[in-house]
């Protein structure tokens, strides 16, 4: 049993590694250092085309029902039918308008016949009245040799015939104007019905929603049910039912703690890693930083800023909207720095320490820390390159005795 500590001490060098990410020991390294911070985010497409519930007009009802929908996440091509809407409201309106159109056309034809008959009657009355007028005119000429009394009576009869003749002529003029207005009104009704019918046929074609581009169909959430839209759901005009992102250009929506916002600049390089494929790395850069902070959550006092990272264009089919990623934001590059694994730095009472291994002894050495990244931190203090340091999880030799 007394030999056990000796064996452990002999094995200590075997735990040392230059990468500084193995349990046990690490070494102090010197060289160029990239400082970074890592935030979680979600992939989105830079450009995404929405499929919108069309506004057909209140005549067809304010809501419409989904009767068919392509599966969420399916690859679609431009022009593919992806969503179909219930045509029953449009069809009812269309049938009603077609029936009304036939009736109004019949009314129009009847109107033409009635106006023609009325015109014939008035023309016949005009001929009769013109004959009567001419007869009275002859009688007036004959009465020149009659008594004054008879002459006066004949003049009155002649005037009466003239008034009747003018009345018939005005009736013909008025009848023609009324007939023309009636024809215009009825023709307008028919034209409006024909326009409604044409509009209904157009509306039927708009009930088939097609993909505006190639991509993966993403069904939107129904705010009423708090689930993805599905067949049978009713929706309102101008509401987005689905999105088809352009997968060639992707971005990450993420956040940065307000304590770190002074480290963030537009154009900074970012390494994007997928949670599902942590060994894959994609390059990007920050292209949007929120102007105002917001609370991280309703019950949190932590303030954050929204940022967006533009991922470099690539041919990879791995990147999909909605995937969770980590963004390592490189905010500083330091030349000729000393740095050590994050696991090898201790903090006690506000002071940072490293545990140097010298000749089998552990020396607790205070250090000042500088910028850091996911795995390493820059340190300042009394040490030199290549010195061995114990990690937090590894006990010192004294503890093994």
Contact 350, 297 (CB under 8 A): no
Q: Is the pLDDT of residue 261 over 50?
A: yes
CA separation (Å) from 383 to 290, 342, 351, 357, 396? Answer: 41, 16, 17, 11, 18
pLDDT reported for residue 17: 38
Residues 6+ apart with CB under 8 A from 149: none
Q: 191-234 pLDDT, tens per residue?
A: 999 999 999 999 999 999 999 988 889 899 998 888 999 999 99
- Give the Cα separation of 160 and 376 in Å (integer): 121
- Give the Cα separation of 139 and 152 in Å (integer): 12
Q: Is the pLDDT of residue 391 over 90?
A: no
For the chain, the average pLDDT equals: 86
pLDDT reported for residue 393: 63
Q: How far is CA 89 from the centre of its chain?
A: 26
**DSSP assignment string, 145-187:** GS-HHHHHHHHHHHHHHHHHHHHHHHHHHHHHHHHHHHHHHHH
pLDDT reported for residue 366: 93
Q: Is the pLDDT of residue 143 over 90?
A: no
What pLDDT band is residue 165 in, cutting at 50, 70 and 90? confident
CA separation (Å) from 144 to 134, 139, 148, 150, 283? Answer: 16, 9, 9, 9, 120
* 282's tokens: 């994609």
Q: Is the pLDDT of residue 90 over 90?
A: yes
Q: 16-36 pLDDT, tens per residue?
A: 334 344 448 889 999 999 999
Q: Is the pLDDT of residue 185 over 80?
A: yes
Tell me the mean pLDDT in the region 1-6.
38
Residues 6+ apart with CB under 8 A from 338: 28, 29, 30, 378, 379, 380, 383, 385
Please, where are the H alpha helices in 251-401?
A: 397-400
Percent above pLDDT 90 for the chain: 49
More confident site: 292 or 7: 292
Q: 337-358 pLDDT, tens per residue?
A: 999 999 999 999 889 999 998 8
Least confident range from 108-122, 126-140, 273-287: namely 126-140
What pLDDT band is residue 81 in, cutting at 50, 70 and 90? very high
Q: Is the pLDDT of residue 1 over 60?
A: no
Percent above pLDDT 70 for the chain: 92
Q: 303-333 pLDDT, tens per residue?
A: 999 999 999 876 777 888 889 999 999 998 8
- Give the Cα separation of 287 and 309 in Å (integer): 6
| Phi, psi at 343, each rounded to 5° | -70, -15
What pLDDT band is residue 13 in, cutting at 50, 70 and 90? very low
More confident site: 229 or 297: 229
Closest by CA to 91, choosing from 203, 209, 192, is 203
Q: Is the pLDDT of residue 11 over 70?
A: no
Least confident range from 4-8, 32-36, 157-161, 352-356: namely 4-8
pLDDT reported for residue 394: 54
pLDDT reported for residue 161: 85
């Amino acid at each position: 049993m007394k030999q056990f500590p000796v064996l452990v001490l002999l094995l200590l060098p075997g735990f040392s590694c230059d990468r500084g990410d193995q349990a046990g020991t690490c070494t102090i390294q010197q060289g160029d250092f990239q400082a970074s911070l890592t935030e979680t985010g979600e992939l989105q497409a830079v450009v995404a085309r929405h499929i919108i519930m069309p506004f057909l007009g209140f005549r067809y009802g304010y809501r419409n029902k989904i009767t068919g929908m392509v599966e969420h996440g399916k690859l679609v091509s431009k022009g593919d039918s992806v969503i179909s809407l219930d045509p029953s409201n449009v069809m009812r309106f269309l049938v009603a308008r077609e029936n009304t159109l036939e009736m109004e056309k019949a009314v129009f034809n009847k109107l033409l016949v009635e106006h023609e008959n009325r015109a014939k009657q008035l023309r016949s009355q005009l001929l009769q009245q013109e004959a009567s007028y001419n007869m009275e005119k002859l009688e007036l000429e004959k009465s020149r040799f009659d008594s004054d009394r008879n002459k006066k009576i004949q003049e009155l009869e002649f005037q009466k015939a003239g008034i009747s003749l003018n009345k018939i002529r005005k009736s013909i003029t008025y009848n023609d104007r009324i007939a023309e207005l009636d024809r215009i009104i009825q023709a307008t009704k028919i034209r409006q019905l024909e326009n409604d019918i044409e509009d209904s046929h157009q509306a039927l074609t708009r009930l088939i929603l097609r993909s505006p581009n190639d991509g993966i169909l993403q069904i939107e959430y129904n705010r009423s049910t708090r689930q993805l839209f599905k067949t049978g759901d009713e929706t309102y005009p101008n509401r987005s039912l689905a999105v088809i992102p352009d997968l060639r250009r992707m971005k990450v929506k993420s956040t940065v703690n307000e304590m770190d916002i002074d480290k963030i600049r537009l154009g900074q390089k970012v390494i994007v890693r997928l949670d599902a494929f942590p060994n894959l790395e994609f390059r990007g850069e920050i292209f949007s930083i929120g102007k105002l902070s917001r609370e991280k959550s309703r019950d949190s006092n932590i303030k954050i800023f929204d940022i967006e990272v533009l991922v470099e264009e690539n041919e990879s089919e791995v990147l999909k909207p909605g995937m969770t990623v980590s963004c390592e934001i490189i905010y500083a590059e330091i030349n000729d720095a000393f740095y050590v694994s994050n696991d090898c730095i201790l903090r006690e009472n506000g002071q940072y320490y490293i545990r140097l291994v010298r000749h089998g002894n552990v020396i607790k050495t205070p250090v000042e820390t500088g910028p850091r990244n996911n795995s390493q931190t820059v340190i300042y203090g009394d040490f030199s390159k290549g010195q061995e340091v114990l990690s937090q999880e590894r006990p010192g030799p004294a503890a093994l005795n």
